[in-house]
Amino acid sequence: GSANPVTVELLIRPIIHNPTICAYPGSVGVHLPLHIAAEYRCKYSILEGLVSSYSEATHIKRQLLQQPQHPPDTSPKSGSDAKNAKQKQQQQQQQPQQQQQQGTPGWF
């Protein structure tokens, strides 16, 4: 399931008055509990509690780590697959020409 304000509040409520935990960034970059509560539009009382426990969070910009982007697959396998497909297409185009030159119908 996905998170919503109610579930986020249930998770944050036990840590509201713990400055050490409120200062701890999440696993995805700098994503403090205050950031999470604000993102999910939690109740004012939740936001107020987080700010009173760790007011420095209001000055810390939320930063997400960027996921590494994988380059397109340029391995020889993919190149040889394309080459084989092109060769097969050329062979299929040449077969009717060869059959016409030999005088045999295409269905033989």
Strand ranges for the chain from DSSP E: none
Contacts 24+ apart (CB under 8 A), 10-13: 12/36, 12/37, 12/42, 12/46, 12/50, 13/46
**What are 50-77's pLDDT values in tens digits?**
999 999 988 888 876 555 455 555 555 5
Question: What is the reported pLDDT for 95?
Answer: 60
Evaluate whether 46 touches 13 at the Cβ level (below 8 Å). Answer: yes
Tell me the mean pLDDT in the region 9-37: 85
Q: How confident is the model at residue 42 (pLDDT cuts 50, 70, 90)?
A: very high
CA distance 41 to 53: 18
Does the pLDDT of residue 37 top 50, yes or no? yes
Q: Quickly state the pLDDT bin for 48 (edges 50, 70, 90).
A: very high
